[in-house]
Amino acid sequence: MKKSTARLATALTAGAAGVAGLALATGSVPGVEGLGPRLAQAQGHVDRDVHDRPAEVPAADLPDWARAGTSTVTVVREADGADGAGAAVRADLAVPAGFVLPDSCTDVEHVGMPFDGGGDDWPDSRGPGERCGPWSVVVAQGHLYVWR
């Protein structure tokens, strides 16, 4: 009985150390909140990048009209370890007061969710939003959230 208890304690300690290591490895990356997103990043299912200015974001990761933003941009995309590698991307950034979406955008009743759910800082996007070409869009509390 004592051997099985010792093995269980060793396994629990090793598991806790692994989770702590994962938290340290991904803890400083914006857009990585919670164990699930941390595991997805560690396993190569998603890539996250932070750009100091919207102009630095690759064209495929942010629509041109969103480059009027005023903050760092967090971009999350499917990575090589994901089934649809590179097909889906989401980004968020602060926008200036009075930011207006292009006239070509249309209202939608249910805008849907990004491929990974968006994370803790993402707005509830199950309600109304906009479609701007291939991009789903929510503007909330001075932030622009886009995904495709």
Q: Which two tokens stand for residue 71?
A: 């903050």
**Cα 80 from Cα 48, distance rounded (Å):** 13
* 57 falls within a domain: yes
pLDDT(136) > 90: yes
Single-letter amino acid, residue 71: S
Question: Domain count of the chain?
Answer: 1
Arithmetic mean of pLDDT, 45-64: 85
Tell which wins on pLDDT, 79 or 58: 58
Quote the percentage of the chain above a pLDDT of 90: 20
* 11 falls within a domain: no
* 138 falls within a domain: yes
Burial 123-138 (b: 16+ CB within 10 A, else e): bebeeebbbbeebbbb
**Cα 44 from Cα 46, distance rounded (Å):** 6
- Strand pairing class (46-51; 73-78): antiparallel
Could you say which DSSP state residue 107 is in?
Answer: E
pLDDT(83) > 70: no
Range of the domain at 53: 45-147
* 18 falls within a domain: no
* 34 falls within a domain: no
> Taking a C-beta distance cutoff of 8 angstroms, is the pair 145, 118 a contact?
yes
- pLDDT tens digits, 112-126: 888 777 777 788 777
* 73 falls within a domain: yes
* 62 falls within a domain: yes
* 21 falls within a domain: no
